[in-house]
Amino acid sequence: MAWVDVGLLLVDKILGSAVRAETARFILSDPAASQARYFPGFVPKLSHRDTAVLKAQEWVHIRDGRDVSLASMAAAAGLERRTFLRRFATATGMTPIEYCRAVRIARARELLERGNTPQKEIAESLGYQDVASFARVFRKVTGWSPGVYRKRFGLNALSLDDLPRKDASSPNFRIFAAAIQPGPADVR
């Protein structure tokens, strides 16, 4: 994993933290996680052309998947519950509960990656009663706890400060550190 860390550090220095986060997600995704197909990012299926289901999907996204019930989704779609369940599953390939969970976790990933919002605030803003239930669902979907996810993919995921200090005196570390520091020609 050391080479991956070095590579991600170089990507960060050359292309920026946003590209590093995307690269890290691509490289470090865990295919053994139970829901790994959602890990690279939740992309809702919107090409189904069922306008009633599209209305419900938009309604869920506006609310980040929180405070949503089957009855309220069916009402947003203008359909009876049973008809809505059948059409939603046919159109999206997911149940409404799975879909709402995916929307909530996608929003949680975004908040963890782009800021320092405490996990408790993230959990509450997405409608979870407590941090433990949020963390349990998040780990089930991504394979990592929210804290580990933030450390790996957040804006401050990897820097020279994260490298072990005991190696800072080694010649290889000094060469590496000098190589990634901007020189006079690099400063604009």
Q: Which of 65-69, 116-120, 167-171 is modeled with the greatest confidence?
A: 116-120
Confidence grade of residue 29 (pLDDT, cut at 50, 70, 90): low
Cα 35 to Cα 119: distance, rounded to the nearest angstrom:
21
pLDDT at 137 over 90: yes
pLDDT tens per residue across span 102-125: 999 999 998 998 888 999 999 999
Mean pLDDT over 138-153 rounds to: 90
Domains contained in the chain, CATH given: 1-30+158-188 (no CATH), 34-154 (1.10.10.60)
State the average pLDDT over residues 116-145.
93
Mean pLDDT of all residues belonging to the chain: 78
Report pLDDT for 34.
36
Compute the average pLDDT of residues 7-15: 79
